[in-house]
């Protein structure tokens, strides 16, 4: 029997060690080991783009919507949550190295992602700070030696440093929990909960995730899992239904009804989260950094203004009735530098050489991205604005794009949106929308005259990325 260990590498021939991203489908395992603290740290890396992460199928994990280029982080985490629920419904055993609750808010479309987002809880309880209390200690005492995971506590003891314990005074704990190990002061450290048709078994945390003790811990957990899952899995005999138990049919019907109600509520939750994430993308344009993180939210804002993106357009090209915009995005905690200019200039020169037309370009700059928009006094280097004016392309700051997108959400009419697009096509240098966004009834009609686009859009979509980069800063993409 293969077993899965997530974010806590354990050396054993029966253990498959993965991260929350690289693991195969979780409900294909009957025995799962999880380190929530390390898992949340990995999620934070993906959310903040401080490290690159891939799925089991080698698809990039991106903090945004799922696209051809990557899997959306929020969608992947919801999928993992569903996989854990299905695993427990199948009777899986999930062993958890206990940590206190913690939350990150940087996952786009998944507000309040916490250390236990993946784990269903027993009815009436939640993995919250009221139940999981922070604490530190190096001793654990087994109170139920008959429990299959009691030997694991004995092996953990030389390497034990628990970070949390359960508050057994919380209403509902005594009815839902089975405690097999406590601290010297009596706080529950080794606790089992029945969840679905399976079990969740909490273990005190180790000092580290490697070391000389790791092989012994791995063997003890594997043996405990084997003992726990050593049941007869044969198919239920057909004649069993002929032996009635008073009230069983009614209770099974109640379970079915409750399950249907849960499925409906989960569907409503998913729809509500998706709708909220759609609008959150617009706001995210104010702070996102890095190409994979910033580009999807920029595209969403331009879509609200009447542009669309074709799947074959790489690098990014956005289309409107007036024509096409070759788009470069750039972000920095400081002022955006000239790197985006060099990339865009190389693209435009290449298009002129191949297509004999002068394409229209734009740089979307999200400089000083961690400051409030009103406090951004230098979001781009002056040389970038001068280059845009001299070369003949538009420079648009992220906060101005946000204002334009929110005006579209607030009901700006077709004429107002056409005027915004006109500014993007006709302004060389810094784009301001003050005159393009009056009240809808006062907006003068704008005539959008098409301009030439490249004859072969598929060929234009395959333009090579220019190698020229500028040094310094957080990164131009």
Give 328-361 pLDDT, tens digit per residue: 999 999 999 998 999 999 989 988 888 888 899 9
Is residue 237 domain-resident? Answer: no
Helix, strand counts (H, E) of the chain: 12, 20
The reply to whether 221 and 297 lie within a common domain is: no
Is residue 421 domain-resident? Answer: yes
DSSP 3-state assignment of 191?
Answer: strand
Is residue 387 domain-resident? Answer: yes
Give the whole-angstrom CA distance, residue 49 versus residue 292: 9
Is residue 90 domain-resident? Answer: yes
The reply to whether 80 and 195 lie within a common domain is: yes
Q: Work out the number of other CB atoms within 10 angstroms of the CB of residue 108.
A: 22
Pick 191 or 448 by higher pLDDT: 191
The reply to whether 217 and 321 lie within a common domain is: no
CB 188 within 8 A of CB 159: no
Given this model, what pLDDT does residue 473 score?
40
Give the whole-angstrom CA distance, residue 331 versus residue 397: 10
The reply to whether 211 and 352 lie within a common domain is: no
Is residue 251 domain-resident? Answer: no
Instruction: Enumerate residues 6+ apart whose C-beta is below 8 A from 426.
Output: none
The reply to whether 60 and 141 lie within a common domain is: yes
The reply to whether 208 and 294 lie within a common domain is: no
Is residue 44 domain-resident? Answer: yes
The reply to whether 325 and 211 lie within a common domain is: no
DSSP-derived letter for residue 210 is S
Is residue 468 domain-resident? Answer: no
When the pLDDT of each residue in the chain is averaged and rounded to a whole number, the result is: 85
Given this model, what pLDDT does residue 433 score?
81
The residue segments making up the domain with residue 29 are 3-232
Please identify, among 232, 251, 271, the residue that sits at the C-terminal boundary of a domain.
Answer: 232
Q: Domain containing 181 — which CATH number? A: 3.40.50
The reply to whether 310 and 377 lie within a common domain is: yes
Please state whether the peptide bond connecting residue 237 to the residue before it is cis, i.e. omega within 30 degrees of 0. Answer: no
Structure confidence by residue, pLDDT tens digits, 241-296: 777 788 888 888 888 888 888 888 888 887 777 677 777 778 889 998 866 778 88
Please identify, among 194, 211, 232, the residue that sits at the C-terminal boundary of a domain.
Answer: 232
Closest to 364 (Cα-Cα) out of 413, 305, 407: 305
The reply to whether 346 and 452 lie within a common domain is: yes
The reply to whether 324 and 221 lie within a common domain is: no
Please identify, among 210, 232, 254, the residue that sits at the C-terminal boundary of a domain.
Answer: 232
The reply to whether 99 and 175 lie within a common domain is: yes
Closest to 393 (Cα-Cα) out of 446, 326, 329, 447: 326
Is residue 150 domain-resident? Answer: yes
Give the whole-angstrom CA distance, residue 21 versus residue 81: 12
Instruction: Record the tokens describing residue 460, joined without a space.
Output: 């234009």
The reply to whether 199 and 306 lie within a common domain is: no
Q: Work out the number of other CB atoms within 10 angstroms of the CB of residue 430.
A: 16
Give the whole-angstrom CA distance, residue 92 versus residue 194: 10
Q: Report the predicted TM-score, pTM, of the whole model to 2 decimal places.
A: 0.50
How far apart are the two ends of the chain, measured CA to CA in Å? 45
Instruction: Name the domain count of the chain.
Output: 2
């Amino acid at each position: 029997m293969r077993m899965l260990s997530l974010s806590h590498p354990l050396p054993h021939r029966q253990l498959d060690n993965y991260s929350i991203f690289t693991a195969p489908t979780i409900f294909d395992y009957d025995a799962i080991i999880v380190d929530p603290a390390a898992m949340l740290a990995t999620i934070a890396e993906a959310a903040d783009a401080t490290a690159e992460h891939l799925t089991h199928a080698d698809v990039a994990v991106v903090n945004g919507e799922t696209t051809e280029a990557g899997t959306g982080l929020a969608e992947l985490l919801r999928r993992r949550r569903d996989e854990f629920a299905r695993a427990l419904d199948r009777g899986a055993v999930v062993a958890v190295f206990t940590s206190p609750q913690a939350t990150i808010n940087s996952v786009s479309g998944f507000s309040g992602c916490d250390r236990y987002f993946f784990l269903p809880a027993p009815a009436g309880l939640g993995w919250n700070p009221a139940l999981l209390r922070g604490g530190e200690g190096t001793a654990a005492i087994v109170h139920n030696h008959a429990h299959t995971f009691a030997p694991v506590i004995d092996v953990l003891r030389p390497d034990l440093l628990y970070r949390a314990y359960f508050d057994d005074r919380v209403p509902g704990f005594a009815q839902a929990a089975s405690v097999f190990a406590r601290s010297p002061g009596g706080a529950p450290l080794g606790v089992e909960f029945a969840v679905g048709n399976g079990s969740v078994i909490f273990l005190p945390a180790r000092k580290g995730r490697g070391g000389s003790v790791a092989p012994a811990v791995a063997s003890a957990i594997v043996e405990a899992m084997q003992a726990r899952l050593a049941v007869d899995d044969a198919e239920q005999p057909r004649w069993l239904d002929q032996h009635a138990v008073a009230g069983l049919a009614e209770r099974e019907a109640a379970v079915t009804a409750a399950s249907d109600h849960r499925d409906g509520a989960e569907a409503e939750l998913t729809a509500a989260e998706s709708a909220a994430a759609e609008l959150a993308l617009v706001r995210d344009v104010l702070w996102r950094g890095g190409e994979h993180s910033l580009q999807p939210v920029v595209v969403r804002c331009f879509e609200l203004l009447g542009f669309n993106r074709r799947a074959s357009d790489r690098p990014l090209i956005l289309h409107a009735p007036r024509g096409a915009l070759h788009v470069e995005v750039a972000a920095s905690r400081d002022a955006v530098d000239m790197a985006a200019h060099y990339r865009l200039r190389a693209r435009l020169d290449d298009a002129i050489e191949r297509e004999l037309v002068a394409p229209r370009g734009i740089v979307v700059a999200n400089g000083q991205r961690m400051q409030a928009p009103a406090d951004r006094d230098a979001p781009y280097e002056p040389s970038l604005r001068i280059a845009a004016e001299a070369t003949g392309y538009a420079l648009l700051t992220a906060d101005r794009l946000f204002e334009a997108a929110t005006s579209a959400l607030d009901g700006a009419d077709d004429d107002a949106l056409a005027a915004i697009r006109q500014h993007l096509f006709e302004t060389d240098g810094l784009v301001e929308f003050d005159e393009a966004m009056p009240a809808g009834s006062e907006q003068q009609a704008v005539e959008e005259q098409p301009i030439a686009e490249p004859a072969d859009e598929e060929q234009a979509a395959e333009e090579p990325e220019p190698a020229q980069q500028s040094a310094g800063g957080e990164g131009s993409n």
